[in-house]
A and B are shown apart, each in its own frame.
Chain A
Amino acid sequence: MSLDPIAPGTLALAEEFGLSRDEYNLVLEKLGRTPNVTELGIFSVMWSEHCSYKSTRVHLAKFPTKAAHVIYGPGENAGAIDIGEGLAAIFKMESHNHPSFIEPFQGAATGVGGILRDVFTMGARPIALMNALRFGAPEHPKTRKLVDGVVSGISFYGNCVGVPTVGGETNFDARYNGNILVNVFCLGIAPRDKIFTSAAKGANNPVVYVGAKTGRDGIHGATMASAEFVEGDDSQRPTVQVGDPFLEKLLIEACLELMETDAIIGIQDMGAAGLTSSSIEMASKGGAGIELDLDAVPAREEGMTPYEFMLSESQERMLMVLKPGREHEAKRIFDKWGLDAAVIGTTTDSGNLTLRWHGEIVCDLPLGPLADEAPRYERPYVAPLKAIPLTEGEQGRLVSEYPGFAASLTKLMSSPDMASKRWIWEQYDRHVMGDTVADSGSDAAIVRLYPGPRALAMTCDVTPRYVEADAYGGGKQAVAEAWRNLSAVGARPLAVTDNLNFGNPQRPEIMGQIVHAIEGMAEACRALAFPVISGNVSLYNETDGKAILPTPAIGGVGILDTLERRASADALAVGDVLALIGESAGHLGQSLYARELIALGGAAPPVDLAAEKKNGDFVRGLISDGLVRAAHDLSDGGLACAAAEMALASDVGIALGYQGDLADAAFLYGEDQARYLIAVKGAALPELEQRARAAGIDFLIVGEAGGNEISFLGASGKRDGISLKTLRETHEEWLPSYMSKAR
């Protein structure tokens, strides 16, 4: 696209850039004149959904974001919490959905690059990555190639940069056929009193650019990320950027080294909308103005226009404002790491973004309308319909069509969502940096705070089918499950980041999902004292008018005071007694069992936040008192799948048994919330029972560890089991076998 940078920006062009007619008119009104092409391009990205959160901002305000330990909540590059001993944990989750669908390898790779920059921009050394991936149905023709590309891209980037990928989740559903989700989480550690922000306070300070040269890649990526797809249209491929993890590694080291001096006033990575959003962000937060000389910007290609410079999303670039006279110090560090750097402008007191090119001013825009005064919409919405509960007849089928323990467990443990994801996580370096205590396969990953004994725990969670069935309840459940996963390893939950993935917010039913899910999440965050400190919104995940499952992914972080007192699912030992904590009502609506075996849906399980809190605090207390040998949270697949995972991870068999009012299928596969499976030594049982009684906790002995099979004795009176060897084979086989058809 070659456009005269100072030609008038027309309505037709504005619409091509993704602005509505009303928004274009608002630009004219705010400016009191017609913007030129460059200026219009800048408006269009700053007012894109991706940069402005225009559809969600009013609702995001409902999240609790404050607590004594929160240092920076939403609004910075990432959120920051105080974790004691002079340290802050800085983390965020972000989507790279649209680029990853168009070009899976580079899309996912640059997603990792972007989230790393968000974290080290604030002065934190990244110490852990996670990813939450959603793909289409396995049988969809594109799925295999997308899985291959996304996983390879994450592996390529994360492994080279040298930050361990310690956890995540992967699901498959036909509703993601046309829009996959690639949500990446990064956590870093910084000195509590040395956190950097983007605010470029003060005039006449040098603006320094460092990193990759600017090319024509990724122009208008933020706008693309704010639009729906049309099937068969691959024309957006050129808007995907290309990542260079080695360069990112150099940037991390150089920036952290420069941050040890006091030369930096403000620093910001160039992510979505590149130089445009980074410069505007810095100047508007600092209450200053900024003037850039585009001829000084390191360029990869000849003849780039101002529009292209400002809209490029070339990766691995940072912008910073230094104290005057400190440029040489910075230059010395950048030279050491072999990085290109240039002074490309100065801060001003004009309150404007001013761009010079070939000696002329090609853009002069007030910052207010671009940033704080961007449009905010209270889009109309309707309350989303809740899924219809299962009828009595359907309830009956769940029981009458139960094929027995071994057959049902085999089927579920080898279903795409439950099957082992080893094929994926073995491609990620999970141990680099030397602090990984627990990674993929654990309820929550655990990363030691060197030299210990403290550690951070982290997890990614959401159950999209619950959110689809009940947006409010599903939003609550996503938060509760993250909180539960942290509690299951013995960690104290501290805060969350979120990544809200939805369809087109201009459809009232989608907007309803967004609003209700946010309100449900907010309620859970309040009830569990689990504040939201950062997040990202990805809308327009639709193809030909068909939206994805609503997917508000949660990244939860907690702390362990000592690694000595933690629990894991792989520590089961022969002779241990298995106990179920929490109340079982046998809720099979929206369960994996109902979906995979009987092809039924129904209502999502209810979420009782008071029970979550009580049961989680109880289990955490047991772990911290050293009473629990192994623990596992109950989620997809209920008790039976949790027990199977524990048995497989520990390589110790389990004999389950139940005599009660629930049907076998409901007892084994019900997905009632707020439950944990714990393993204790027989000798600890009396104390456990006594503590459970005293705390008013539902507590049921459900089995014993030993042997080499997992079995169940239920209503039939006949024990039915499957050897761990056979179960492991079927659990491990699904994904590699599926992917082996890829080449």
Chain B
Amino acid sequence: MKSAVVVFPGSNCDRDAARALERMTGAAPAMVWHKDTELPQGTDLVVLPGGFSYGDYLRSGAMAARSPVVRAVAAHADRGGLVLGICNGFQVLTEARLLPGALTRNTGLRFVCREVPLAIANANTAFTRAYREARDTVIPVAHGDGRFVADESALDRLEGEGRVVFRYLNNPNGSARDIAGIVNDRGNVMGMMPHPERASDAALGRLGGAPVFQSLLEAA
């Protein structure tokens, strides 16, 4: 599988994502600078990593959604390529309208870094197949703007179409219907607030996110 990680100047989980990809797929991803207008030829998977894209003083992901590289990511998604947005990457994907809804300030108004239990709401996506029979997992979150919101009809549609992929078992941020991760209607773009790249390393004793990468490896 050929993967790429987008690097905004304020990305801070770009290296972590690259390590996880290398560990899980056996190949180092291409690091793509935010000013680049194209992804490397033959890219199967693009990861938009966590962090604070351009400082995010305006609205998380708002400026990044208008960056040159995100236009290339949108074109990649249009072609059916795989896109995984983690945390700030999820925020960027909603701002870029590649995913519905928005991520707003946590209801507690505070940043929250915690290992959270998640239900795997749909194990039949390109991002979750490797969870197989598992019904839940534990992956850490670390965000201030993680409350997923959308209007009721959009939420109904997401649920009706099985596009809610991860759900909080103990909602840390007030997200509507406990939503922690969703896919687009084609199923090739996923955004999630929890950090699977932080839970894919046996040496750190956290492996709850590893199946996300295993799934992608199988899918690509």
Contacts and interface: CB of A to CB of B under 8 A. Distances in A.
Interface residues on A, range: 20 to 34
Contacts of A161: 12
Best-buried of B57, B195, B198 by chain A (most CB within 10 Å) = B198
B51 A431 contact: no
B203 A429 contact: no
Contacts of A450: 19
Interface in A143-174: 152, 155-156, 159-162
Interface stretch (B75-83, B109-117, B178-186, B210-218): B109-117
Interface in A118-164: 152, 155-156, 159-162
Interface in A411-444: 425-437
A246 interface: yes
Contacts of A160: 10, 12, 52, 55-56
B9 interface: yes
B13 interface: yes
Contact of A246 (B55, B111, B197): B55
Contact of B9 (A244, A249, A427, A437): A249
Given A246-B55, A426-B112, A426-B113, A432 B142 contact: yes
Interface string B89-113: 0000000000000000000001111
Interface string B9-21: 1101101100110
Contacts of B38: none
A448 interface: yes
B10 A249 contact: yes
B61 interface: no
A250 interface: yes
Nearest to A249: B10
A186 B198 CA distance: 22
Contacts of B205: 437
A452 B204 CA distance: 10
Contacts of A437: 203-205
A434 B140 CA distance: 11
A338 interface: yes
Nearest to B16: A434
Contact of A244 (B16, B55, B144, B195): B55
A337 interface: yes
B114 A426 contact: yes
B201 interface: yes
Interface in B1-30: 9-10, 12-13, 15-16, 19-20
Given A434-B16, A452-B203, A563-B203, A253 B9 contact: yes
Nearest to A152: B110
Interface in A215-270: 244-247, 249-250, 253
Interface residues of B, number: 30
B142 A246 contact: no
Nearest to A430: B113
Nearest to B54: A246
Contact of B16 (A155, A426, A433): A433
Contact of A250 (B9, B110, B113, B195): B9
A453 B203 CA distance: 8
Q: Which of A155, A426, A434, A435 has the most CB of B within 10 A?
A: A434
A429 B9 contact: no
Contacts of A433: 12, 15-16
Contact of A427 (B19, B51, B112, B195): B112
Contacts of B140: 431
B9 A432 contact: no
Interface in B51-76: 51-52, 54-57
Contacts of A338: 9
B17 to A, nearest CB: 9
A110 B158 CA distance: 42
Nearest to B110: A427
A156 B145 CA distance: 12
A159 B204 contact: no
A600 B111 CA distance: 39
Nearest to B19: A434
A434 B114 CA distance: 14
A573 to B, nearest CB: 15
A246 B110 contact: no
Nearest to B195: A431
Interface string B161-204: 00000000000000000000000000000000001011001011
Contacts of B198: 431-432, 434
B142 A429 contact: yes
A425 B113 CA distance: 8
Interface in B125-151: 140, 142, 144
A434 B201 contact: yes
A427 B12 contact: no
A249 B204 contact: no
Nearest to B50: A432
Contacts of B110: 152, 155, 427
A434 B20 contact: yes
Contacts of B204: 434-437, 448
Contacts of B57: 246
A160 B112 CA distance: 13
Contacts of B195: 431
A432 B55 contact: no
Contacts of B54: 246
A246 B113 contact: no
A98 B13 CA distance: 33
Nearest to B204: A437
Interface of B: 9-10, 12-13, 15-16, 19-20, 50-52, 54-57, 110-114, 140, 142, 144, 195, 197-198, 201, 203-205
- Please list the 10 inter-chain residue pairs (A to B) with the smallest Cβ-Cβ separation, ordered nearest first: A162-B12, A246-B55, A434-B16, A429-B142, A160-B52, A431-B198, A427-B111, A155-B111, A429-B113, A246-B10
Given A427-B113, A431-B140, A434-B20, 7 more contacts: A161-B12, A162-B13, A428-B113, A429-B142, A432-B13, A434-B204, A437-B205
Interface of A: 152, 155-156, 159-162, 244-247, 249-250, 253, 337-338, 425-437, 448, 450, 452-453, 563
27 contacts: A159-B113, A160-B52, A161-B12, A246-B9, A249-B9, A250-B9, A338-B9, A425-B113, A426-B113, A427-B112, A428-B113, A429-B142, A431-B113, A431-B195, A432-B13, A432-B50, A432-B198, A433-B12, A433-B15, A434-B20, A434-B197, A435-B204, A437-B204, A437-B205, A448-B203, A448-B204, A452-B203
